[in-house]
Amino acid sequence: MNRFWTYLFPLMLGIAALALWEFLVRHYEVPVFVLPGPVAVAGALFDNFGSLLGSLWVTLAVTWIAFAIALAGGLALAVLFAESRALEAALFPYAVVLQVTPVVAIAPLILIWVGYEHVERAAVVIALIVAFFPILSNATLGLRSVDPGLADLFRLYGASRWQTLVRLRLPGALPYILAGMKISGGLALIGAVVAEFVAGSGTATGLAWRITESGNRLEIAKMFAALALLSGVGIANFYLLAFFEWLLLHRWHESALKRQG
Amino acid sequence: MSTLLSLSGVSKTFERGLEAIARIDLDVASGEFLSLVGPSGCGKSTALRIAAGLVQPTGGTVSWPQGRPQLGFVFQEPTLMPWADVLANVRLPLELQNAGASEARERALRAIARAGLKGFEAAYPRELSGGMKMRASIARAIAAEPKLLLMDEPFAALDELSRQALNDTLLAIAREDAMTVIFVTHSVYESSYLSSRVAVMTPRPGRIAADIRLHPPPLRDQSYRLTQEFADAAGRVSAALRSAMEGRA
């Protein structure tokens, strides 16, 4: 199968599914407050585009800020873990506790602590909690997975800890870190959405809140429009990170290489 | 000739009780090409790593009568950084020792050319064949202009032709720089072709069973492999290796 077909087939399937959906909705006269057709959804998206875009921006900002903090913090902590087994032994169990506790369950607490008047801050904290762990654990694993031969070489030439970290451990860990980033990117968005759902009201204005609001008002087409935007953002984030990964790895790493011969 | 490295009574027992080498006494003179030959697992790699300071011996001493010289080490695997091109890989030892950028670059380029990789400076390890990766590894080892080059079965994984070509590259470099080389191998023929001296080791725990001086012509090429001289040298190493093996059985 060449490139052309790998793009055309899913596209054709998608169009066919949308057409079937529209046909069924019209044929069986499904009420628009139960299931609107794709045309109605597109209409709602068009009509509310300005306000939905504003909400999209709020959700995106929360996601990206949480992701950036998770990346910086996760990497920094992973470096400390890789340099000190004792520190890892002391802290890692608590990182696991944070990871395995369902974020939906602690979200209300965080809202209370951070305050309903600062829902976006609470949302950042919640998104951060879910986005943090994949980066921490992947980066720690990567920083530990050093080629022993190269480690010997660095030792032989009297490399300092800093040189070993920057020239050997970090580049070697890059594929792991990028894998963690792809997972975290998706989780940060989920965290942001969960936070808005839990907040329910207050000053929340993100996409998830618009979905709740539209649901309450039985504006199902608008709900679908917001949902479509949310998926779009998730997909865009994922491919952005995948592209970033390709950019950094395609010259050397097996995962990014095409099989030759 | 003056002694460069002296191992006396060096032994190594690993944590789990595995005795790798028993007692090794070995003086290496400047300018020698010494091969350590022995069966697999006889501790010859361990001896080499002890000389490099990568492994601490559990007994005996390692001394450098003229001071510890600049070392080069070539591992069994090419051990290149996959994320860096050939030039960056070869430059690494110089940069780790804080050489200036332009000087490091120049010395690395020269080492690459001498190792026979000119034109592949920008290639990534994955784009190179096994023999070329090993050339990159040799270029990296000689970039810092070591007085002593330690090599741990570097050509064991290569096909015969690449191996012979690399043998000649190595000999030329060692001769031009008057470099001392300690070369670990399990190949009788490789050690007989390369060395001015062959130390034969017993099976584990390794000891030096025989110390053989060879006198190959300083300038030799593949035709040397067909001479009676070479056959005699290989015969002596081979006989010593056989008796070292039997000594234990």
Give the pLDDT of chain A (261 residues) as one tens digit per residue: 677 888 899 899 999 999 999 999 999 999 988 899 999 999 999 999 999 999 999 999 999 999 999 999 999 999 999 888 899 899 988 888 888 888 888 888 888 888 777 788 888 999 999 999 999 999 999 999 999 999 999 999 999 999 999 999 999 999 999 999 999 999 999 999 988 888 776 666 888 888 888 888 989 999 999 999 999 999 999 999 999 999 999 888 877 665 543
Distance to chain B for A61, nearest Cα, Å: 33
pLDDT, tens digit (0-9, with 9 covering 90-100), for B172-221: 999 999 999 999 999 999 999 999 999 999 988 888 999 999 999 988 88
Please give the model's pTM, rounded to 2 decimal places. 0.86
pLDDT, tens digit (0-9, with 9 covering 90-100), for B142-152: 999 999 999 99
| ipTM greater than cut 0.95 | no
Q: What are phi and psi of B204, to 5 degrees?
A: -55, 140
Taking contacts as CB-CB distances below 8 angstroms, the residues of chain A near B125 are 252
Q: Which of B77, B92, B126 sits opposite A149 (nearest CB)?
A: B77
Interface list for A 167-186 with B (CB within 8 A): 167-168, 171-172, 174
Distance to chain A for B96, nearest Cα, Å: 6
Contact assessment for residue B80 and residue B125, using Cβ atoms and an 8 Å cutoff: yes
Contact assessment for residue A130 and residue A187, using Cβ atoms and an 8 Å cutoff: yes
At B53 the three-state DSSP class reads coil
Interface list for A 195-214 with B (CB within 8 A): none
Taking contacts as CB-CB distances below 8 angstroms, the residues of chain A near B127 are none
Contact B71 A171 (CB under 8 A): no
Spell A169-199 as b/e; 16+ CB within 10 A means b: bbbbbbbbbbbbbbbbbbbbbbbbbbbbbbb
In angstroms, the Cα distances linking B118 to B110, B121, B123, B141 are 9, 7, 11, 16
